[in-house]
Chain A
Amino acid sequence: MNWLKLLLQRLRSSFSQSQTDQDLEMEMASHLESAIEDNLKRGMSPEEARRQALIRFGGVEQAMQQHREERGFQSLDILWQDLRYTFRTLRRDPGFTAIAILILALGIGANIAVFSVVNTILLRPLPFHDPQQLVWITGLPGRGGLSSQTYSTDAYKAFVSQQRSYQDVTGYFAFSTSDNTRLLGRGEPLLLSGVLVNGNFFQTLGVQPILGRLFRPEECQKNAPPVTLLSYPFWKRQFGADPDIVGKAVNFDGRSVTIIGVLPETFDFGSVFSPGSKVDTYGPAILDDMEDWGNTLALIGRLKPGVSLAQAQAEADLLFPRLLFSFKHPDWGGNYTGKLSILKEYVSGKLRRSLIVLWCAVGLILLIVCVNLSNLMLARAAARGKEFAMRSALGAGRGRLIRQLLTESIVLSAIGALLGLGLAYGITFYLAHQGSIALPLLSSVTVDGSALVWTLLITVATAILFGLVPGLKMSRSNLQEALKDSGHGLSEGKKHETLRAALVISELALACVLLVGAGLLLHSFLRVLDVDLGFEPSRTAAIKVDFDDSKPERRGAILRDMLQRILAVPGIEAAGIADNLPLDMNRSWGLSAKGKQYKPGELPATFVYVVTPGYLNVMGMRMLAGRDISWQDETGKERVAIINQTAARYLWPGEDPVGRMALVNGMDTRVIGVVADVRESSAETAPGWQMYLPVMQNGPVGAQLVVRTKLRPEVLASSVMATLRSINPAQPATEFRPIQNIVDHSVSPRRFFVSLVGIFAVLGLVLASLGIYGVISYSVTRQTQEIGIRMALGATVVNVQLQVIAKTLRLALIGIVLGAIASFAMARAITSLLFAVQPNDPPTFTSTIVLLTVVAIVAGYVPARRASRINPMIALRNG
């Protein structure tokens, strides 16, 4: 155990440092005295004897240092020494310290925050038991919206009984809307968002309630006494986290429902399955009641251990085409497909590219921060050249000097990281509480353990990156020259400047890449906002209304009366009602031209909106031909429909569709009008087939009252609510939802990414301009004397300024050219994130180049002005 003894010895000597040092000093003193005595004996003069003894001994300090390095726990001692020294130097230069820490905090903080987001959405497994076994089962994605991605209860039952790949298959009712349940009997009716899930939903996901129990099979049968599970936030908010809540009854829509349990805080249905929405309660889906509801179940399966996704997919390819839509109508067929994906992939796969781009952007920021600090450290190191020369003369080795500089950079970046952590906590808290951003899992973003590990990693990497370059540079400097060098105009200073110029150039190039990336994304975002949605979101707002729909033949009269009273409210210009709004919930039915034959699967499912007369007008949709629905299109009269342009073009190519006969879910329906396409699923995807059917002839799923007004919707809220209450006293209190909010929600992921990348780009630009300012400013200071001489010899103010600015521009242009080349490569890599913008988008590139040039000129102008104000007399005298 030799090394153990060594370790103990070293530790001991580490602690008894001063004692050992004293010992050594005594020993060396005795050595020198003996040597001097010997020299005297040889007949030297006392001075000569002493001088010779010292020469033979070599440097006393170096010998001491060597001795220390041999014994003691070198690293510990030195670390302690370096730390103390570092804190002293940093305190002495508070301006530099503050700026360095601030820059680091911004860079590291942004990185931690983005890492937390990436980690939560992309890297961390879903908060379920064995989430890699969970698969999302969906129909053909794309056309037809939710209805073509979901399954009927009969199809679900058949699939469950035939499949061999899954431990369990579950589902949930995919058409639950927000605010679909009224909590009564506790003051004013309160709107809740409830979701119906299959009885085995939580068991399949592996979620256990924190209170009570999950659904029992008998509770999912027809006419079972109604039960509900509460979400954790709802339990806390509405019931004050009542520990005895289980078994109590609440009144939902007039029904007494028993609370059987509370789900854990970690379970957030909305954040996984329906980003940007919250769910308050969960009820069991009674499958027997849902047989005639059509395709409504979204399916999730848990694979058996050892079954691969490919095996399960092969089975699905076999089973799904054979599934029937309805057991009662085997002749209807099913026309199903089943595409499997790992649930995690379904939830966040679409975002992978955006998140990786975000991650790269924030990484670039960190690089710029490193370059910037390298530069600051170099500037400082130049000023400290003498100090370092002195230290190396006093026995500090090269490694020791590098270590000193690294200690400084580590201390700086550690303090920066601490502040950055605070910043990241703030950012993630803010993001987690942004209910309106439609990104999955965002509500659970926190700075967690892995983010802390990441912080440590980038802190050390940053410190090494920005500490090493100046460290190597400094320690290589010539000792004598440095001691003699007055700090101005000598070769060492020149070399420093070349290195710093290279750093500034790379900084500008990096900033250029960031700016081009942000510019392309921003341009795409503007293009998305510019998309013709097919309706006018401004000045319109929707409110969910409640009415007595027990007698379908009375529906028309009730809604007509409601609209008339609403139109009488001062300030309301137009009003209409639809069951679903664009970019919100959707459902689809079948639509075809009567008398024509189509191949199975040829026609896409058609989005269906059940509306009142006036709805198309209030939404600002454009009728292209025919007429709007009227109150005369009553129950029992000829069924009518308005279809959109895309459907019309396919069904009656080259013909006038108005007046033609169509089949809507198999029923004869007269096409009475054609309306311009509306972006129904997202602003970025091309519109599908759409039809608008009168509310008198078709069953709506709820009712959204849309009004157009010159006033702000909040102003109207109370009078509209009073009117609605006068018709239906049970109308719950809901808020107006500006249609613009629905549009904003739909583009929120893009807005989210654009704002973040934009912020990073601005940060990068500021850092780069600081960098360029620093270098030019330093070189002006260094050349004070030279400029003074030139001015004394007749150089004008303009001459001097131009020279400084020309120098700035030279640096800037090299950086911009390099950056532009790198940007082309970057732009190609993010092509799939762009919308209606080419990767080599000239406006983006041009404006970036102009912006960077202007910023560089400004950054150079400040020192240039200072240069031109140099008083030759003073400059020369002080030189």
Chain B
Amino acid sequence: MSKSKLDLLQGTLDLMVLQTLVSMGPQHGYGIARRIEQVSGDEVLLNQGTIYASLVRLQERGWISAEWGTSDNNRKAKFYSITKKGRKQLAEDAAYWQRLSDVMGRVLAMPGEHK
């Protein structure tokens, strides 16, 4: 796998995690992973394990916070919630993605010269 692709994926995953936390409120790793899979309609092939690298990265940047708690099924789990800083970052990143996807849409909509 080439490096640039991986970077894009990383950034994408971070954004997905942040948005998930905004929409669902505090959530544990498994919950976040499941949610992303559901929303993406299983289009993203996600190794659930990779979510933890993303979580620790976001945590270190101060965009999310973590706390041990108890899950619905009475299991000990670490719950993540988005911070104020994280919300700000999400707004920025979301706007960026929106713009990028608009541009990409326009570029790809250009009539192509078929062979």
Residue on A nearest B54 in the bound complex, by CB: A70
**CB pair B53 A30 closer than 8 Å:** no
**CB pair A30 B49 closer than 8 Å:** no
**CB pair A30 B30 closer than 8 Å:** yes
**CB pair B60 A70 closer than 8 Å:** yes
- Residue B29 contacts which of A9, A31, A38, A70 (CB distance < 8 angstroms)? A31
**CB pair A57 B49 closer than 8 Å:** yes
A213 CB within 8 Å of chain B: no
Stretch binding the partner chain, chosen from B17-25, B74-82, B103-111: B74-82
**B46-71 near A? 1/0 per residue, CB < 8 Å:** 01111011001100111000000001
**CB pair A66 B50 closer than 8 Å:** yes
Q: List the A side residues contacting B78 at CB < 8 Å.
A: 23, 27, 30
Q: Chain A nearest CB: distance from B11 CB in Å?
A: 14
A6 CB within 8 Å of chain B: yes
**CB pair B60 A57 closer than 8 Å:** no
A663 CB within 8 Å of chain B: no
Q: Which of A34, A62, A69 has most B Cβ within 10 Å? A: A34
**CB pair B30 A34 closer than 8 Å:** yes
**CB pair B77 A63 closer than 8 Å:** no
**CB pair A28 B76 closer than 8 Å:** no
**CB pair A30 B50 closer than 8 Å:** no
The total of chain A residues at the interface (CB under 8 A) is 29
Q: List the A side residues contacting B4 at CB < 8 Å.
A: none
Q: List the B side residues contacting A70 at CB < 8 Å.
A: 53, 56-57, 60
Question: Could you tell me the distance between the alpha carbons of A66 and B53 in the complex, rounded to whole angstroms?
Answer: 6
Q: List the B side residues contacting A62 at CB < 8 Å.
A: 47, 49
Contact A31/B30 with A9-B60, A37-B73, A58-B47 known, Cβ cut-off 8 Å: yes
A255 CB within 8 Å of chain B: no
Contact A6/B47 with A24-B52, A27-B77, A63-B52 known, Cβ cut-off 8 Å: no
Residue on A nearest B62 in the bound complex, by CB: A5
**CB pair B52 A66 closer than 8 Å:** yes
**CB pair B77 A67 closer than 8 Å:** no
Q: Chain A nearest CB: distance from B64 CB in Å?
A: 13
**CB pair A58 B50 closer than 8 Å:** yes
**CB pair A59 B30 closer than 8 Å:** no
Question: Could you tell me the distance between the alpha carbons of A66 and B52 in the complex, rounded to whole angstroms?
Answer: 8
Q: List the B side residues contacting A34 at CB < 8 Å.
A: 28, 30, 71, 73, 75, 77
Q: Chain B nearest CB: distance from A52 CB in Å?
A: 11
A472 CB within 8 Å of chain B: no
A854 CB within 8 Å of chain B: no
Q: Chain B nearest CB: distance from A200 CB in Å?
A: 69
Q: List the B side residues contacting A79 at CB < 8 Å.
A: none
**A24-43 near B? 1/0 per residue, CB < 8 Å:** 10111011011101100000
- CB-CB nearest 6 A-B residue pairs: A58-B47, A63-B49, A66-B53, A31-B30, A58-B49, A34-B30
Give the interface of B toward A (CB within 8 A).
28-30, 33-34, 47-50, 52-53, 56-57, 60-62, 71, 73, 75-78
Give the interface of A toward B (CB within 8 A).
2, 5-6, 9-10, 23-24, 26-28, 30-31, 33-35, 37-38, 56-60, 62-63, 66-67, 69-71
8 A-B pairs besides A31-B48, A57-B49, A71-B56 with CB distance below 8 A are A2-B61, A28-B49, A31-B33, A34-B75, A37-B73, A57-B47, A63-B49, A66-B49
